Amino acid sequence: MHHNVKEIIKSEPDYCRMTDLAAQRLGGSVLYATDDFFAEKENLIKPGRGIFIADKYTDRGKWMDGWESRRKRIPGHDWAIIKLATPGVIRGFDIDTNFFLGNHPPFASVEAVALPPDAEPSDWESATWTEILPKSPLDPGSRNFFDCTSDGTFTHLRLHIYPDGGVARFRVYGTVKKDWTVVGESEETDLAAAINGAIPVACNDMFFSSMSNLIMPGRGINMGDGWETKRNRTLGNRDWVILRLATRGRIHRVSVDTCHFKGNYPDRFSLEGTDLPNESDPQSDDTVWTTILPETKLGPDAEHFYGQEIAAQGPFTHVRLNIFPDGGVSRLRLYGTKA
């Protein structure tokens, strides 16, 4: 089946490197849609861009990997409510119409609201919505990027499509806003968790899978759900990734999980930390790194725990995970207390 619309390749804005606050894997959910007759609203926040299976149909019509409403024969338009995984400040959107070609919505807009924990209005229309993306045109079969200039912290979004149609994925990029004042001085938190506000800053290689997977909730679902570098043939090679911790803190326990990495786990790893003032670049040559865990052997497909072995607890603002010589790590957990 040949589509006569070539996909428009658009370069990703910088904010795409930020956390997708709506992602299902981070804890986002789609609470409501006016209509999802053809394809379920939950698809909006699944991983990837969605797939197309030419001859797959359901009793409702063509199977589509996205949210698709029926053709509207009455006035009005469709909308969906997305609950963010965590309160956050939004920097940009990707409204992806991948594979929606004769059935994409010509326009979309986004509204936002901040609700207290566990508060869900009985009537979404009555919430005090703020428009954070005015009605904007969408191209078919492509990623549609939009900046967000609002500095508000929000918990729920309302994605409007005009008047109807299909959207494959909805990405909401921004910064996690966690209230650290309610976290006790001795309360142990995963300082490396994306849900708490940790972010991957840089790595030297992520050929097979992204460094952002390292700090996602849960254990990896498969080998693609981790950070994996290519096979490096340089003698004595070291691959590395730098994470900014969710907050400046002291590290008491570490877990390195090689879940699903069986013939390609790193032989060894080490962990280092640094304590930097705000806005300092951890990649700068004069950054002083302190050993948290010295070079240590790893095994395949297992969670490795360290406590007594920790050489320095910090406080740290950033950590660097080194792997020797290359390979894949599913998750990194750094349990500790805020400094």
Do 149 and 131 lie in a common domain? yes
pLDDT for the residue numbered 2: 46
**CATH number of the domain encompassing residue 258:** 2.60.120.260
Identify the pLDDT of residue 120. Answer: 82
Q: Judging by DSSP bridges, how do beta strands 239-257 and 199-203 pair with one another?
A: antiparallel
**For residue 10, is pLDDT > 90?**
no
Residue 231, SS3 per DSSP: coil
Number of domain units in the chain: 2
Sign (positive or negative) of CA dihedral 51, 76, 30, 329: positive
Alpha-carbon span 176 to 1, nearest angstrom? 42
pLDDT at 247 over 70: yes
Please check whether residues 187 and 103 belong to one and the same domain: no
Inside any domain, residue 72: yes
What's the confidence (pLDDT) of residue 147?
Answer: 97
Q: What is the pLDDT of residue 92?
A: 98
Q: Which residues contact 300 (CB under 8 A, 6 or more apart)?
A: 258, 261, 262, 263, 265
Q: Which pLDDT score, from 0 to 100, does residue 217 have?
A: 97
169 has pLDDT over 80: yes
Q: How confident is the model at residue 11 (pLDDT cuts 50, 70, 90)?
A: confident
Nearest to 62 by CA among 159, 166, 138: 166
Last residue of one domain, picked from the residues 142, 176, 210? 176
Q: What confidence category does residue 9 fall into, taking pLDDT thresholds of 50, 70 and 90?
A: low
* Residue 3 pLDDT greater than 90, yes or no: no
Q: Which long-range contacts (CB under 8 A, 24 or more apart) does 147-152 make?
A: 147/13, 147/15, 147/91, 147/92, 148/90, 148/91, 148/92, 148/93, 148/110, 148/174, 150/90, 150/112, 151/89, 152/89, 152/112, 152/114
**Residue that has been written with the tokens 């379920």 in this structure:** 40
Rounded mean pLDDT of 123-139? 95
| Chain segment 80-125, per-residue pLDDT in tens | 999 999 999 999 999 999 999 999 999 999 999 999 988 888 889 9
pLDDT confidence of residue 1: 45
Residues 148 and 201 in one domain: no
> pLDDT tens across 61-70, in order?
998 999 999 9
CB-facing half-sphere around the CA of 181: CA atoms within 13 A: 0
Domain for residue 6, yes or no?
no
Domain that holds residue 197: 183-338
Same domain, 233 and 205: yes
Has residue 268 got a pLDDT over 80? yes
Residues 66 and 155 in one domain: yes
Q: Looking at residue 83, what is its pLDDT?
A: 97
Give me the percent of the chain exceeding a pLDDT of 90: 91
The reply to whether 163 and 190 lie within a common domain is no
Residue 328 lies in a domain: yes
> Which residue, 158, 176, 194, sits at the end of a domain?
176
pTM for the model? 0.92
Query: Quick one: average pLDDT of 325-332?
Result: 98
Residue 8 lies in a domain: no
In 10 A of CB 255, how many CB atoms?
A: 16
pLDDT attached to residue 310: 97
Residue 34 has pLDDT above 60, yes or no: yes
User: Which of 129, 148, 176 is at the close of a domain?
Assistant: 176
- Determine whether 226 is exposed, middle or buried from the number of CB atoms within 10 Å of its CB (0-12, 13-18, 19+): buried
For residues 172 and 188, state if they share a domain: no
Residues 306 and 167 in one domain: no
For residue 148, the one-letter residue type is C
Q: Within a domain: residue 157?
A: yes
pLDDT in tens, 201-215: 999 999 999 999 999
17: three-class secondary structure by DSSP: helix
One domain, residues 299 and 155: no
| Average pLDDT for 129-151 | 97
pLDDT at residue 279, rounded to an integer: 82
* Distance in angstroms (rounded) separating the CA atoms of residues 195 and 181: 16
Is residue 120, in this structure, part of any structural domain at all?
Answer: yes
Residue 169's closest CA among 208, 138, 195, 147? 138
Burial of 182 (0-12, 13-18, 19+ CB in 10 A): exposed
State the average pLDDT over residues 36-52: 94
Identify whether 9 is part of a domain.
no
Instruction: Clarify whether residues 114 and 191 are in a common domain.
Output: no
Other CB atoms within 10 Å distance of the CB of residue 218: 11
272 and 192 share one domain = yes
Q: Is residue 1 part of a domain?
A: no
Work out the number of other CB atoms within 10 angstroms of the CB of residue 274: 17
Q: How confident is the model at residue 140 (pLDDT cuts 50, 70, 90)?
A: very high
Looking at residue 4, its pLDDT comes to 46
Whole-number average pLDDT of the chain: 95
Residues 150 and 99 both lie in one domain? yes
Taking alpha carbons only, the member of 152, 149, 144, 183 closest to residue 336 is 183
